[in-house]
Chains A and B, each alone.
Chain A
Amino acid sequence: MTVKIRFFARFRELLGTDIVTEVVPGTMFTSLITTTARKNPAGYAAIFDEKGAFHEFVILMKNGKRIELTDAAKTPVVDGDEIAVFPPVAGG
Chain B
Amino acid sequence: MIAIQTADVDIGALIAAAKKQGTGAVVVFDGVVRDDDITEMELEAYEEVAVQELEKIAGEATRQFGLLHVDIIHRIGRLTVGENILIIVVSAGHRPEAYSGSRYIIEEIKRGVPIWKKELTKDGGRWVPGEHGHGSGKSR
A interface with B by C-beta (< 8 Å):
6, 8-10, 12, 55-61, 64-72, 84, 86-92
Interface of A is mostly: mixed
B137 pairs with A66, CB closer than 8 A = yes
> Which residues of chain B from 87 to 128 have any CB-CB distance to chain A below 8 Å in the complex?
106, 109-118, 127-128
Number of interface residues of B (CB under 8 A): 36
Which residue in A6, A59, A64 is a CB contact (below 8 Å) of B134? A59
Beyond A9-B44, A86-B114, 5 additional contacts (C-beta under 8 Å) are A10-B127, A90-B129, A90-B131, A91-B45, A91-B113
Which listed residue, B48, B86, B115, touches A64 by the CB 8 Å rule? Answer: B48
Within 8 A of A (CB), among B29-85: 31, 43-46, 48-50, 52, 74, 85
Pair B118/A89 contact, Cβ less than 8 Å: no
Majority DSSP secondary structure for residues of B touching A: mixed
A90: which of B46, B106, B128 is its contact (CB, 8 Å)? Answer: B128
Q: Is the CB of B117 within 8 A of A64?
A: no
Contact of A89 among B48, B134, B136 (CB under 8 A): B134
The interface centre, meaning the residue of A60, A67, A86 with most chain B CB atoms within 10 A of its CB, is: A86
**Complex CA–CA separation, A90 to B43 (angstroms):** 9
Do residues B135 and A57 form an inter-chain contact, with CB atoms below 8 A?
A: yes
**Interchain CA distance A32-B36 in the complex, whole Å:** 39
CB distance from A57 to the nearest CB of B (A): 4
Contact with B114, one of A56, A58, A89 (Cβ below 8 angstroms): A89
The chain B residues found within 8 Å of chain A, CB to CB, are 31, 43-46, 48-50, 52, 74, 85-86, 106, 109-118, 127-132, 134-140
CB distance from A68 to the nearest CB of B (A): 4
12 contacts between A and B (CB under 8 A): A57-B132, A59-B134, A61-B46, A61-B49, A68-B136, A68-B138, A86-B116, A88-B134, A90-B117, A91-B50, A92-B85, A92-B115
Q: Chain B's nearest CB lies how many Å from the CB of A87?
A: 6
Q: Are B86 and A92 in contact (CB under 8 A)?
A: yes
User: Is A91 in contact with B115, judged by CB distance below 8 angstroms?
Assistant: yes
Return the chain B residue nearest A86 by Cβ.
Answer: B114
Complex interface: chain A residues within 8 A of B127 (CB): 9-10, 87, 90
